[in-house]
Amino acid sequence: MEMERGAEGRGGVGFAPPYFQTCVMRCCFSALALLPWVLVALDAQLICWQAVFRCNVEPECDLAFRQYVSACEDVIAGATKQCPSHCINALIRLNDTRNGPELESCDCKQDQECLSVQRAIEPCLPRRHPSESGGIGCMEARQRCEENPVCHTSLAAYLAHCGQLFNGRRCSSKCKATIQQMLSIPNGELLNQCICDGVERPFCEVVKENMSKLCSIGDPSDVTHTPDYSYDDENDEGPPLFLSRQPSFYALPACKCECPVCSLTAVSHLGRLA
């Protein structure tokens, strides 16, 4: 009965459609009936309803799941193609629970609604194995850059001068010069070639796109020269928590200092660069 009360009134299913949860609780409540399926699933990829059931009975996963459903509602519904930082942070929390990762990798079989939700949420998920795509991941590329003194200094300058680029406003002359300097360094060039991965993947992809659209690297005449103080962040939706998780070269949005979490993580990060 405790599980039944916990499931009441909840929409969405891990990375599967909302009706799965109702089906699980109504049709599979008997532990004896479910046991053979669970035992088989231990050695094979879980079907999504099995993954949901396992998450439901783990308090931490159950709570993180509810937060994910609320935070990612617009993404799941297809109302937006972008991944809000609160949705990504909810996915990170869900993935940190014992049974949460199973929701990401579960098998929809032929269920079209389940497959649709998985397609919608996929751009918001961490990419764990960029080497499988034939390239180096941005987290590894950034680590290599930080280990090289020259690249490390260029990275610090990039963080200092490209705040407007991170938010999609503009690419200032200082920012463009910093990027060009970075790309002249072997370890810096890796940051341009790397594949966005890890928890900051969605942000990394957005910043790469912004740089491609706004910076026109290779064309010295195509850059705005208005001062950086024209930047305003009133529409910034807030800082992502991934700043404390080794963000990559192209994945560092400027943060609002009035937010205590962002201020602390930004100071911690810049302290490592000093």
**Token duo for residue 98:** 């014992």
Could you list the mean pLDDT of each consecutive 10-residue stretch along the chain, which spans 274 residues? 36 44 39 33 68 93 94 90 81 89 87 88 71 72 90 91 89 92 88 81 84 76 43 35 35 32 29 31
Whole-structure pTM value: 0.47
The pLDDT, as a whole number, for residue 96 is 87
Hey, is 195 helix, strand or coil? strand
The pLDDT, as a whole number, for residue 265 is 30
What span, in angstroms and rounded, lies between the C-alpha atoms of 49 and 43?
16
**Are 204 and 251 a contacting pair, CB within 8 Å?**
yes
What span, in angstroms and rounded, lies between the C-alpha atoms of 174 and 151?
17
The pLDDT, as a whole number, for residue 157 is 92
The pLDDT, as a whole number, for residue 80 is 83
Given the structure tokens 């890890």, which residue do they identify?
198
The pLDDT, as a whole number, for residue 218 is 59
Relative orientation angle of helices 85-95 and 201-214, to the nearest 10 degrees: 150
Helices and strands in the chain: count of H runs, count of E runs:
16, 0
Rounded to 10 degrees, the C-alpha dihedral 193/198/204/205 comes to 80
**Token duo for residue 225:** 């020269």
The pLDDT, as a whole number, for residue 12 is 38
